[in-house]
Structure 1
Amino acid sequence: MSGLPALPIARDVAFLARHGVPVDVLREATLLGARCEVTAARAALATGLVSDEAFYRALAVELGLPFLEPGFAAHSQAHYPGAIRHGIAPLAEGGYALAPEDAALEGLLDRRGRLVSGLFVTTPAALRDAVFRARAPVIAREAAEALPRLNPGHSFHDGLTSGQTMALLALFAMVAAAGWLAGRPAWLALMIMMGSPFLLLAGIKLAAILEPSPVRLPLGLPRAEARDLPVYTVLVPLHRERRVLPKLRAALLALDYPPPKLDVKLLIEEGDAETREAIAELAWPGFVETIIVPAGHPRTKPRALNVGLALARGDYLVVYDAEDEPDPAQLREAALTFDRVGTDVACLQARLVIDNTDDGLLQRFFTLEYGALFDVLNPALARFDLPMPLGGTSNHLRVAPLRALGGWDPWNVTEDADLGVRLALAGFRVLDLPSATHEEAPPTLRIWLAQRARWMKGFVQVAITHSRDPLGHLRRLGTVPFAGTALLIAGTVVSCAVYPLFTAVVIGQLLTGTFFGGETPAEVLSEALSLTLAAAGLLAMTVPAFVGLHRRGWWRLWPFALAMPLYYVLVSLAAWRGIVELLIDPDRWNKTDHGLARTSRRLARPGGS
């Protein structure tokens, strides 16, 4: 290939010249490998200069070994995930399948002509699939049970303890007693008990608006050389996502990261033939592999993520949803940020931005809600050094501490919020990453309600999981972070659930003229507290939304920010549905359909936020 310097071809690809691969292609792979400080073979395979099948068929001939076609049977005791990571697995009928990479590949090439019998060459994908077939029950069980086995107190697996059940019954009894007594002192006591968390939560949201938080990293940051960048794993869990696969492929190809340093894994549930067939119809870059997650219970996104985590090659890892379009430079920015902060920072949460804002009223509200959360509240939580309930996507994580924690909790349907709490309990910090990932808001109220109910149900699961040992959590986190976590998790659900009832009572009293009729101190205090809660709630719903749209420059949405209290009536409905679902079907995962957006901010304004 013209323009390439004349340099010796790397040993791990030089043999391909004898099997029909042009020398110029091998020189290009060698140069790319040197630039990225990876082997030339990895560079060739990741960029598609040589296909996996062509590479390993040629290797088999070079080594004088048989080539195993996909579909062979691995031994039932093949080690998982070691066999896949090391590229060697015992076969059911004897011998070993080899799919060598990096140092193992060079070692085999050095020993050509001196290899023992019983060895067979295959592709890494064929070896992985064989191990998955042979060990499917073990893989499914490990993905579901690793965390409950490692730290049962940090998984929702066992649900409510007897002590928690007694505490909830006592709370319900107190509420019922207050309602039965129906006196101002009783109502005042109940209002103080229920209203204080609501007021504190509103205070956190309002305090967040005072923290400056640009929506982008500063211009002029140094651009790391390819050799200095770490290997980055990208996990993309998929379920019934045929419609968005072309968009996902384009987003992955747009990533500004050296392909030899990328390790992208598409995670598909075993029974999802639709998505599997759609993936096969598209041409994917060499750094993308498809992993079929063995059938098992619960069938949740975090269980699939745990399968991907076991096979991750990267030092860092990020989770993207199927419809996500991250800023192309996001991985570089995350790697640079990780390099500049201490190892106590285990996670960076990127900004989620709604792309299909102009689809309708619901999508406009969703856009403002995300702006208040990701552009205002989350950055402030990071600055306040409070635990951050993570978003379901664009969490950039250090792989080593994530594995040490047992990965995600597959029994929690809001695994992201749960992981944020567990990271804090383990002494790790989460920082904000001002880099946008564009997402699609649900297209209909029905789909939105199902998604939001799952989130609310998951928040309750997080609250249950991490209230089993309150004194232990208080010691680990400290008073302020402990209180902040309780408010952001349990307080969110409680405040959403009681919001319509409280609002209706206040409005009714104002309309009937009975609100300011208090004569006793208890009555006056009750009215003052009601008014304070109402004012704080309205401010907490609207002001962060205004600040968020100001930071993004979306001033055309300001009328909708004024109407956010109406949107939160829907959020309350979702909270109650989530509570009911928790009682009757705690493991149910309400799937959100994607690929139905009618408008796009990115397409309308290329490069826009």
Structure 2
Amino acid sequence: MLKTALAIDDPADGSLPADEPLTGDALQLAVAELLVQRGNLSLVDLANATRASAEWGHELAHVLIAQGYVRRMQYYQALAAVYGLPFVNLREEPSDPLLVDPDDRTDYTAKNLTPWRVEGGKVIIAVTNISEDVRRWAEDRYGRSHGFAITSPYDILWQTQAMFRERDSHMAREGLYEWKPEHSAKYTITDPQKTTIYLGLAVLVLALGFAPIPTLVVLMGAATALYTLTFAFKFLLTWVGSSRSADMVISDEAVASLVDRDLPVYTVLVPMYREARVLPLLAKALKGLDYPASKVEVKLVLEEDDAETIDAAKALNLPGNFEIIRVPASQPKTKPKACNYALQFCRGEFLTIYDAEDQPEPDQLKKAVLAFRTAEPNLACVQGRLNYFNRGENWLTKMFTLEYSQWFDFMLPGLDRLKVPIPLGGTSNHFKLAALRRVNGWDPYNVTEDADLGVRLAQEGYTVGVINSTTYEEANGVLPSWIKQRSRWIKGYMQTWLVHMRHPMQLYKSIGPVGFFAFHFFIGAPAFTVLLNPILWAITLMVFVTQTQPFGWLFPEPFGTMAVFNLVVGNLFLIYFGIVAALKRRYFDLVLVGATLPFYWVLHSIAGYKALKQLISNPHYWEKTEHGTSAMTQANLAAAKADMEDAA
């Protein structure tokens, strides 16, 4: 078989040999035999790859490359020889731009092909495999006046990025705005909203001027009612979310029953900027996933001007299922814009996002697949729980862990149980790729694009669930960096509330009364209360210090009772919620420190006022979170580097 294949001369016009060409397993085996003959592949590795190919139900080519047994270029050069066709390096010999059709942009990525040049009156198409699908595609466009050359997926990716650079960059930035401008934060506050705000402020000033005491009483009554309703809603979510049936529980038995052959291709996006040092952690974490390696395509989403991280990724010599997506420089320079750009190169049925230092539980992808398979068709996303591996590093990481434990173990499952919009976390979101594309991905102008996307999915008729799988990441334990990160999150919640309140009746109709209430008290109210907190704290402190009640007139009944309830019972319960969340995770070391949560809320208010300032002056600015600052991260990084050296 191998001798027959190698005896074929490379036809200059790209035509396939006159004899019936090899296909399927015979073709794969012929290429593997040639790789062994050339010294690019050992017999042991071939045996391992053949066994994995049978178990995973995936072509031997994908297994060989994904496992790092051969390099992509080696494999596709051997494939060209077996086909008896020329191999073309598109970086050195790019396609004729006149042959490239923008309408076929999606096919170039999905089918791994591109028209290359005209020779002998035929259009030569550079492909990575000559399947029946590829043949039909070529015949539909060129009839019989076509031939083939072999190239690598890397060449296709490189050329597609180069040729469609401006188009793809534009779609990443403006796709959502051009589709539904009312859902885009490109313009944070619309003219009608500005008019409403100015009118409201004018009415407030007039009211304070002509009737100051009644106006202040009304304002304090409204603030007190807001706090009471917010607390009641959090209490309801915690109570509902504590139920075992609140989230999508995927059992270990169900995971074990999965057959690797039946698993789909999964895309993993890893957006990074200036994070070269934590790349080894990423490689180790992804290799630890319990999922066929050949069915995981990893996209390292890097800014094209981030030469340090790009060079570091190349130096790691990662397996062939890793690809670097270089995001063209443009504004806004945000994570959602980068992910939108990478979305145009994805081929998986499902897609998830991880940060470079994330440590997902090994079976998370399989649990997500099972969740999608057992749910209603309109389930578009499942959220994995997030928590921290460095919780005990300092007071700030302990507070962060208490907060996230309550958020992901109680609050989000509670929202899921109530069937209302779920603001997603920034990582470990698992999507149906088709649904994500139908809503035009993320909003590149929203700095908490994940929370916004959860609301938009609900408005488009999709649902979001929460699965019982945790991703551990690094808690931000450096105060200035924490303030930057938290101010961005609060600013994004402000953006999200303003965007979706442009048409309140439309929002109400699309997500229902419960969803409408939840939107206000889970997304709108928290951003507002962190601004209001210092004012109420100051009033409370003055009353306490003076041992009088000079401000008692501000809180007529029943608002006086409600204010005392919020101050005593409400705050105690919020502390209790954090402690319960720690106990559920068996984080017993965090129980006592949970009593200091009120000091953590002070930091929220500092970040909140910074967020408000930026919302007005620089709404789309992305304050980057510094990763890799934890001592535990450094220890994990050293271990990951040692593992890579041992493997080498």
Decide: shared fold, TM above 0.5: yes
1:529 is matched with 562
Preserved contact between residue 506 and residue 515 of structure 1 (Cα < 8 Å): no
| Aligned AA (1:563) | T
1:281-296 matched pairs, under 5 angstroms = 281-296=315-330
Distance 1:498 1:415 in 2: 25
How far apart are residue 51 of structure 1 and its match?
2.0
1:276 is matched with 310
**Structure 1 residue 185 corresponds to structure 2 residue 211:** no
1:196-595 matched pairs, under 5 angstroms = 196-211=225-240, 212-213=242-243, 218-223=251-256, 224-515=258-549, 518=552, 523-535=556-568, 537-539=570-572, 541-595=574-628
How far apart are residue 128 of structure 1 and its match?
1.0
Distance 1:366 1:18, change over 3 A: closer
Distance 1:509 1:75 in 2: 78
Preserved contact between residue 357 and residue 600 of structure 1 (Cα < 8 Å): no
Query: 540-549 vs 560-569, which deviates more?
Result: 540-549
Distance 2:541 2:580 in 1: 27
Distance 1:297 1:106, change over 3 A: closer
Of 127, 136, 140, which residue of structure 2 is paired with 1:99? 127
Distance 1:549 1:106, change over 3 A: same
Distance 1:86 1:574, change over 3 A: same
Task: Provide the secondary structure at the position in 2 that maps to 1:158.
Answer: coil
Distance 1:302 1:296, change over 3 A: same
Preserved contact between residue 356 and residue 601 of structure 1 (Cα < 8 Å): no
Preserved contact between residue 388 and residue 473 of structure 2 (Cα < 8 Å): yes
Distance 1:87 1:484, change over 3 A: same
Preserved contact between residue 453 and residue 574 of structure 1 (Cα < 8 Å): yes
Preserved contact between residue 12 and residue 106 of structure 1 (Cα < 8 Å): no
Distance 1:602 1:316, change over 3 A: farther
Task: Provide the secondary structure at the position in 2 that maps to 1:286.
Answer: coil
| Aligned AA (1:470) | P
Distance 1:319 1:255 in 2: 14
Give the structure-2-normalised TM-score: 0.85
1:47 is matched with 67
Distance 1:521 1:562, change over 3 A: closer
Distance 2:410 2:178 in 1: 37
How far apart are residue 185 of structure 1 and its match?
2.7
Q: Which runs of 5+ in 1 are unaligned?
A: 1-7
Q: Which runs of 5+ in 2 are unaligned?
A: 1-22, 640-648
Preserved contact between residue 506 and residue 530 of structure 1 (Cα < 8 Å): no
Q: Spell out, residue by residue over 1:188-247, the C-alpha distance to the aligned partner (whole angstroms, 9 max, x if none).
A: 211233333332221121122323256985443341010122211111101111121111
2:172 is matched with 143
2:183 is matched with 154
1:5 is matched with none
Distance 2:124 2:602 in 1: 61
How far apart are residue 121 of structure 1 and its match?
2.3
Preserved contact between residue 266 and residue 291 of structure 1 (Cα < 8 Å): yes
State the superposition RMSD in angstroms: 2.8
| Aligned AA (1:322) | A
**Structure 1 residue 120 corresponds to structure 2 residue 149:** yes
Preserved contact between residue 125 and residue 146 of structure 2 (Cα < 8 Å): no
1:15 is matched with 30
How far apart are residue 253 of structure 1 and its match?
0.5
How many residues get paired?
A: 591
Preserved contact between residue 358 and residue 599 of structure 1 (Cα < 8 Å): no
Distance 2:26 2:478 in 1: 56
Preserved contact between residue 156 and residue 409 of structure 1 (Cα < 8 Å): yes
Distance 1:190 1:524 in 2: 14
| Aligned AA (1:172) | L
| Aligned AA (2:113) | I
| Aligned AA (1:47) | Q
Query: 524-533 vs 48-57, which deviates more?
Result: 524-533
How far apart are residue 252 of structure 1 and its match?
0.6
How far apart are residue 69 of structure 1 and its match?
2.8
1:3 is matched with none
Of 599, 603, 607, which residue of structure 1 is paired with 2:632? 599
Preserved contact between residue 269 and residue 301 of structure 2 (Cα < 8 Å): yes
Task: Provide the secondary structure at the position in 2 that maps to 1:357.
Answer: coil
Distance 1:75 1:550, change over 3 A: farther
| Aligned AA (1:64) | G
